[in-house]
Chain A
Amino acid sequence: EIVMTQSPATLSVSPGERATLSCRASQSVGINLAWYQQKPGQAPRLLVYGASTRATDIPARFSGSGSGTEFTLTISSLQSVDFAVYYCQQYNDWSYTFGGGTKVDIK
C-alpha cells in the first residue's frame, strides 16, 4: 500500500498570507495526486487533480505542483473561507490512499 504523509499537521496562517502544504508518497505515483478541502461537518471537496489541475470553480489562488513522490499545495493569499483541513490522495493504484491531513487555522 502506498503511504501518503502530509506536513505540517497544523499550519497557522494570517489572512492574506501564503500557505504551503506538503505531501509525500512512499513510492512514485506519477502525477496521480489529488488535493481536497474539508470543513467541519462537510464532505471533502476536490481542489486539484493530476497534481496541478484545478477542479471546476476552484479559485486561482489554489495551485498544486510536484510529481513522483513530492507534492505541494499552495494557497497564495489565504481568505477566511480557506481555513479548513486539506488532504492529499493518490490514485495511482486501487488503494486510493489519503494523507493524514493538514489543518490550516487562523494565526
Chain B
Amino acid sequence: QVQLVDSGGGVVQPGRSLRLSCAASGFTFSNYDMQWVRQAPGKGPEWVATIWYDGSQKYYADSVKGRFTISRDNSKKILYLQMNSLRGEDTAVYYCARTRNFFDYWGQGTLVTVSS
C-alpha cells in the first residue's frame, strides 16, 4: 500500500536551517510529482512546493521562495525540503503528498517549530 513517512522536524531558532525528508513506499515514486504542504496551528493547509516526477521542474509558494528548496532522490525514493533562514511564521506541521494534480496520499506530517 502507498506509504509516505515524514521526518526531520524539530525546534529551531529563527534564521537557522532544517531539512525535512519523506520516505515513499508502495508505489513507483519516480512516476509521480510530489508536494510539500504545511499547516500552521489552527489554520488550513498551505501549499509550499512542487517537484516534477523527474526533478526537472520545481515551483514554490511566494512565502518560501528563495529560502526553501525541494528535491528528490528517485533511487532512494525520498523527497526532501531544505529550509533555510527560518522565520516564526514557518512554524507548522509539514506534510509531503503524492500528486495526481490533486493530492491523493499524504504523509503523517512532521512538526517544525521556529522559536528562540
Contact = CB atoms under 8 A, between A and B. Distances in A.
Contacts, number: 49
Contacts of A89: 45, 102-103
Interface in A1-54: 32, 34, 36, 42-46, 49-50
A46 B104 contact: yes
Nearest to A55: B104
B27 interface: no
B26 interface: no
Contacts of B108: 42-43
B68 interface: no
B47 A96 contact: yes
Contacts of A96: 35, 37, 47, 50
B103 A46 contact: yes
11 contacts: A32-B101, A43-B95, A43-B107, A44-B45, A46-B102, A87-B44, A89-B45, A91-B101, A94-B59, A95-B47, A101-B44
Interface residues on A, range: 20 to 34
Contacts of A100: 44
Contacts of A45: 106
Interface string B90-116: 000001000011111111110000000
A97 B47 contact: yes
Majority secondary structure of chain A interface residues (helix, strand, loop or mixed): loop
Contacts of A43: 95, 106-109
Contacts of B100: 49
Interface of A: 32, 34, 36, 42-46, 49-50, 55, 87, 89, 91, 94-101
B61 interface: yes
Interface string B32-52: 000101000000111100100
Contact of A99 (B44, B50, B59, B101): B44
Contacts of A50: 102
B106 A44 contact: yes
- Top-9 shortest CB links A-B: A96-B47, A43-B106, A34-B102, A49-B102, A91-B101, A98-B45, A98-B44, A94-B59, A101-B44
